[in-house]
Amino acid sequence: MPATTVERLDAARQELSAEAARGQGGRGALERFADRFDALLRDVFADAPRPPTDVAVCALGGYGRRRLCLHSDVDVLLLFDGPIRDGDERFVRAFLHPLWDLRLVVGHQVREVGEFARLETDNPTFLLALLDARVVIGNRSLFDRAAASLETAHARAQILHSLWQLIDERHAGFNDTLYQLEPDIKDAPGALRDLNALRTIARLTDPALLDRGPTDCERLDEAEEFLSRIRSILHLESRRNHNTLSHELQERSAQAMQYAGDEPRQRVERLMSDYFRHARAISRALEWARQTAPAPAGANLVRSRDGIRFVDLQYARAHPESWLGVFQTAVDAESPVAYNTLAWMQQHADRYAAEDFFPTPADRSALLAFLKPRPGLYARLSEMHDCGLLGRMFPEFAAISCRVVRDFYHKYTVDEHTLLTIRNLERLAARATPGRERFATLLADLPAPELLVLALLFHDVGKWRDEDHASESVRMARQMLERLQLPPASRDVVEFLIRHHLRMSVAAFRRDTEDPEIVRQFAELVGIEDQLKMLCLMTLVDVEAVSLETMTPWREELLWRLYVDTYNQLTIGYGDEVIDRSQSDLADLLARGPAAVSESEITRFVEGLPRRYLRLFTPEAVYRHVQLSRDIQPDHVHAALEQKGPVWELTVVTLDKPFLFSNICGVLSSFGMDILRGHALTNPNGLVLDHFQFTDQERFLALNADGREHLVRALEEAVSGQVDIAGRVRVREQSVLYRRTGVPRFAPIIHCDNHASRRYTILDIIANNALGLLHRISRVISRHGCDVDLVLIATEGEKAIDVFHITADGNKLAEAAVTALTADLTHMLEGGREVD
Amino acid sequence: MKLIKAVVRPNKVDEVKEALAKLSISGMTVTEVRGHGKQKGHTAVYRGKEYNVSLLPKMEIEVVVQDGIVDEVIAAIIQAARTGEIGDGRVFVIPVDQAYRIRTGEREVI
pLDDT < 70 positions in chain A: 1-3, 207, 408, 584, 736-745, 832-836
A693 to A240, A321, A729: CA distances (angstroms): 55, 34, 19
- What distance in Å separates residue B39's CA from the closest CA in chain A? 12
CA–CA separation, A473 and A371 (whole Å)? 19
Which segment of A809-813, B62-66, B83-87 scores lowest on mean pLDDT? B83-87
CA angle A569, A572, A575 (to 5 degrees): 95
The predicted pLDDT at position A745 comes to 65
SS3 (DSSP) at A782: helix
B10 neighbors B57 (Cβ within 8 angstroms)? yes
Contact A561 B33 (CB under 8 A): no
User: What is the H or E stretch that residue A162 is in?
Assistant: helix A153-172
- What distance in Å separates residue B93's CA from the closest CA in chain A? 25
Per DSSP bridges, beta strands B29-35 and A761-768 are unpaired
* A720-776 pLDDT per residue, tens: 888 888 888 888 877 766 665 555 567 889 999 888 888 899 999 999 888 889 999
A557 touching B (Cβ < 8 Å): yes
Sequence-ordered alpha helix ranges (H) in A500-618: 503-510, 516-526, 529-544, 553-571, 584-592, 599-606, 612-616
Q: Among partner residues A510, A564, A749, which is closest to B14 by beta-carbon distance?
A: A510
Bridge partners (DSSP) of residue A145 are none
B86 touching A (Cβ < 8 Å): no
Contact A512 B9 (CB under 8 A): yes
- What distance in Å separates residue A764's CA from the closest CA in chain B? 5
B11 touching A (Cβ < 8 Å): yes
| Residue in A closest to B39 by C-alpha | A514
B85 touching A (Cβ < 8 Å): yes
- What distance in Å separates residue B69's CA from the closest CA in chain A? 28
CA–CA separation, A591 and A547 (whole Å)? 47
The predicted pLDDT at position A741 comes to 53
> A554 to chain B: which residues are within 8 Å by CB?
32-34, 57
Contact A568 B46 (CB under 8 A): yes
| Residue in A closest to B46 by C-alpha | A564
| Residue in B closest to A550 by C-alpha | B32
> A564 to chain B: which residues are within 8 Å by CB?
44, 46
Contact A749 B49 (CB under 8 A): yes
The predicted pLDDT at position A247 comes to 93
CA–CA separation, A279 and A288 (whole Å)? 14
ipTM of the complex: 0.73
Buried b (16+ CB within 10 A) or exposed e, B15-35: bbeebbeeeebeebeeebeee
Contact A554 B33 (CB under 8 A): yes
Contact A512 B83 (CB under 8 A): yes
B60 to A408, A625, B9, B30, B89: CA distances (angstroms): 20, 54, 9, 6, 9
A652 neighbors A680 (Cβ within 8 angstroms)? no
A568 touching B (Cβ < 8 Å): yes
A243 to A10, A184, A211, A279, A510: CA distances (angstroms): 22, 5, 29, 15, 77
One-letter amino acid at A567 equals Y
Report residue A342: phi and psi, to 5°: -65, -40
| Residue in B closest to A568 by C-alpha | B46
The predicted pLDDT at position B74 comes to 95
CA–CA separation, A707 and A701 (whole Å)? 5
CA angle A94, A95, A99 (to 5 degrees): 110
Neighbours of A190 (CB within 10 A): 29
To 10 degrees, the CA torsion angle through A15, A21, A26, A28? -20
* A671-687 pLDDT per residue, tens: 989 998 899 999 888 89
- The residues, ordered by sequence, that sit 6+ positions from A249 with a Cβ below 8 Å of its Cβ are A233, A234, A237, A238
User: What is the H or E stretch that residue A348 is in?
Assistant: helix A339-348
A511 touching B (Cβ < 8 Å): yes
Contact B49 A750 (CB under 8 A): no
The predicted pLDDT at position B62 comes to 96
B44 touching A (Cβ < 8 Å): yes
A51 neighbors A84 (Cβ within 8 angstroms)? no
> B45 to chain A: which residues are within 8 Å by CB?
568, 751, 753, 764
The predicted pLDDT at position A738 comes to 63
Q: Among partner residues B10, B53, B85, which is closest to A509 by beta-carbon distance?
A: B10
Contact A555 B33 (CB under 8 A): no
Interface test with A, best of B36, B39, B46 (most A CBs within 10 A): B46
Bridge partners (DSSP) of residue A811 are A808
* Interface subset of A 668-727, CB within 8 angstroms of B: none
CA–CA separation, A423 and A411 (whole Å)? 16
The predicted pLDDT at position A779 comes to 93
Contact B10 A510 (CB under 8 A): yes
A565 touching B (Cβ < 8 Å): yes
| Residue in B closest to A567 by C-alpha | B46
Per DSSP bridges, beta strands A673-682 and A749-753 are unpaired
The predicted pLDDT at position A744 comes to 56
Contact A749 B34 (CB under 8 A): no
Report residue A754: phi and psi, to 5°: -105, 5
Buried b (16+ CB within 10 A) or exposed e, A208-226: ebbeebebeeeebeebbbb
